[in-house]
Amino acid sequence: MIEPGSAAPDFTLPDQDGQKVSLADFRGRTVVLVFYPADFSPVCSDQLSVYQEVLGELEHHGAKLLGISVDGAFCHKAFQDHLKLTLPLLADFHPKGEVARAYGVWSEEYGVASRTLVMVGPDGLVDWVHASPPLEVPGANLIFDALDQRSAA
């Protein structure tokens, strides 16, 4: 798994609307990469719904959230519409899991990204990483705590 202090690997992936999104697009901002296993799974649905509820507050604290899974853009669009999500969902679909592998969060056993949060600072370095057990929703409080610790440093 990628370590804090490492340079965050750049990537370009299609979002739920087929638009190309690159990590470099957010240089100068704090980005939280939300790696999750699959659209429409119960735990992933719960996780992203929790983040959606506090998305405005997270953005007020300076964080831009990007969801990333191996599902395709069309599946992401249906998932986004179903849950009424506004955060971008990026398709690490082809080659499958390439970005998850670059961040060290790929599960070979299951063929998906593990449930991991990666905070990338404005300088492009990884500030914080949190890996959750497969069926545990990492609460938004973890992100708020990491943002508070970073701003206190």
Q: Is 75 an annotated catalytic residue?
A: no
Count of CB atoms situated within 10 Å of the CB of 106: 23
Q: Are 90 and 75 in contact (CB under 8 A)?
A: no
Catalytic residue among 2, 31, 44, 90: 44
Annotated catalytic residues are 44
